[in-house]
Copies of this chain bind each other. A is one copy, B any other.
């Protein structure tokens, strides 16, 4: 009624919703247009009519996932650097795992990163780059600028890695940590843990950086003679 094409919006939305779910489950290559249209309850040709082709539909799905990720921005989180880092982790984990939102929002992005298509560069990196940069800067504040750029990267990757693992290797998580999945506030529990775990490691790094003589010389640099 409001737009010149009322039905168009509806079926487009239904296709995107169905496509998001299937893409998140089977990846771009593993998904067929017939799976999408069947799930959406629309005709097979609808995808090529409303979107140009399968690739463009995929881009639209990624864009939608990206759009819903903008509220992860950490500018509005109050408190000191540590609290803001905890806040980011909480939001990020919820974005990835919260069943309230369409389950595919986080997973379709994680899948695209582990199995990239040409869409990776134009969409995903646009989303992750500022996020990564902000988190990296935040970590720098937590350790009071005592880390080198390379160390900042390692810290950031450790934090991202912990978060993404739950959605990227879900079968393993569900198989191994069986009683964790039964926890009532599972997501909150995970988020709090990753925050505790990471903050503790960063504090330890800052402490060792501030006292030039490490408490146990050689421990941090000990390399193992293996293999």
**Contact between chains at B192 and A177 (CB < 8 Å):** no
**Contact between chains at A158 and B193 (CB < 8 Å):** yes
Given contacts A111-B114, A183-B150, A223-B188, contact A162 B168 (CB under 8 A): no
Is A132 an interface residue when CB atoms closer than 8 A count as contact? yes
Interface residues on A, range: 35 or more
Is A137 an interface residue when CB atoms closer than 8 A count as contact? no
Is A53 an interface residue when CB atoms closer than 8 A count as contact? no
**Contact between chains at A91 and B227 (CB < 8 Å):** yes
- How many chain copies does the complex carry? 2
Q: For A169, what are the chain B residues with a Cβ–Cβ distance below 8 Å?
A: 110, 113-114, 160-161, 164, 168
Is A55 an interface residue when CB atoms closer than 8 A count as contact? no
Q: For A213, what are the chain B residues with a Cβ–Cβ distance below 8 Å?
A: none
Q: For A114, what are the chain B residues with a Cβ–Cβ distance below 8 Å?
A: 110-111, 114-115, 168-170
A114 to B197, CA, bound (A): 24
Given contacts A30-B30, A171-B113, A226-B91, contact A176 B153 (CB under 8 A): yes
Nearest CB on B from A67, distance (A): 16
Q: Type the 1/0 row for A162-175, where 1 means its CB is closer than 8 Å to any CB of B.
A: 11111011111101
Instruction: Kindly report which residue of chain B lies nearest to residue A100, judged by CB atoms.
Output: B227
Given A125-B171, A161-B166, 7 more A-B residue pairs with CB atoms under 8 Å apart are: A27-B27, A113-B168, A114-B115, A124-B171, A150-B189, A192-B221, A200-B204
User: B-contacting residues of A (Cβ < 8 Å)?
Assistant: 26-27, 29-30, 71, 77, 83, 86-87, 90-91, 94, 110-111, 113-116, 120, 124-125, 128-129, 132, 149-151, 153-158, 160-166, 168-173, 175-177, 179-180, 183, 188-190, 192-194, 196-198, 200-201, 203-205, 220-224, 226-227
